[in-house]
Amino acid sequence: MPETLQAGQFYTLPVERIVTPGAYLRFENEDVLLPNRWLPEGLQKGDEIEVFIYHDSENRLIATTQKPFALVGQFAFLKVVSTSPAGAFLDWGLSKDLFVANSQQREPMQEGKSYLVYVYRDEKTGRLAATEWTNQFLKTDTTGLQEKQPVTLLVHRQTPLGFAVMVDDCYEGLVHHADAVVGLQPGQRLQGFIKQVREDGKLDIVPGKPGYDKISGEPERILELLKQHKGVLPYNDKSDPQDIYAFFGLSKKSFKMAIGALYKQRLIEILPGGIKLVE
């Protein structure tokens, strides 16, 4: 733990004293105010509380029990709530908005639109800010990554090949259309795994869990749906991916794996127009 409080981090701190404006929390040899509006009912001297530290409008460190949408060192898809001659302000889950200077914008940001940004701490002022110039914070050496390795994803944008995603807040990857669950949207966070580390170092990503783990429980659910529909459903491995997702909530690839498992167990027949329970 650093010797001084740093903005952009969570701390669990003891209550030093209760005062009119709120509660002062102790860290090493310094105190930080948790204002009344964030003060939990019944909090007393000596109690410990988890808080997030940031700068208020007067550049003082202050504590809050609110949780931001992203921490220092993370990417986020945030909405512009207002603009000024100096830059734009983003809603990131706190009462004080996150600032993006004009120099940190690719193009002038527009109020009401959302943008992919990286949250950082300014080295000179210690204040938290965001930037659209994200490439400088991405790692390009993917040699330590492995196929089927679980990762966290942040959907960035749709491309002709699929969906660009941020991987573990460190790398950029691509979810190809064939592997994408219908309904991926920019800003969506989800779990996935590495399908392939290509020779050029780029990452192919698949949402969900690797292999048959990702359909755990799905064959049983499909069986139950068949029973509810008199043993027949008008979907098979030739059906449209959007129709499959709308009914089962599965990607076509996951659906094919699930009915394949049922077929191998001789629990269903795969017909030209759908699937049928074996009596």
Segment 11-61, tens digit of pLDDT: 999 999 999 999 999 998 899 999 999 999 989 999 999 999 999 888 899
Task: Flag whether pLDDT at 101 surpasses 90.
Answer: yes
> Residue 248 burial (CB < 10 Å; 0-12/13-18/19+)?
buried
Tell if the pTM clears 0.75, that is, is over it.
no
Residue 76 phi, psi dihedral angles, 5° rounding = -155, 155
Q: Beta strands 150-158 and 162-167: pairing type?
A: antiparallel
Q: How far apart are CA 221 and CA 241, in angstroms?
A: 18
- Reported as type and span, the H/E element at residue 218 is helix 218-228
| Residue appearing with tokens 């898809």 | 77
CA–CA dist 178, 180 (Å, integer): 6
Report residue 18: phi and psi, to 5°: -100, 130
Please tell me whether residue 227 adopts helix, strand or coil conformation.
Answer: helix
Q: Return the residue matching tokens 């949402």.
A: 207
Mean pLDDT, to the nearest integer, of 185-213? Answer: 84
Q: Which residues contact 142 (CB under 8 A, 6 or more apart)?
A: 171, 197, 201, 202, 203
Q: How far is CA 192 from the centre of its chain?
A: 11
* Element at 91 (helix H, strand E): strand 87-91
Average pLDDT over residues 236-247: 85
Q: What is the CA radius of gyration of the chain?
A: 25
Q: Over the stretch 142-182, which tens digit does the pLDDT of each residue have?
A: 988 998 899 999 999 999 988 999 999 999 999 988 777 65
Alpha-carbon span 61 to 56, nearest angstrom: 6
Average pLDDT over residues 66-72: 93
Given this model, what pLDDT does residue 3 score? Answer: 76
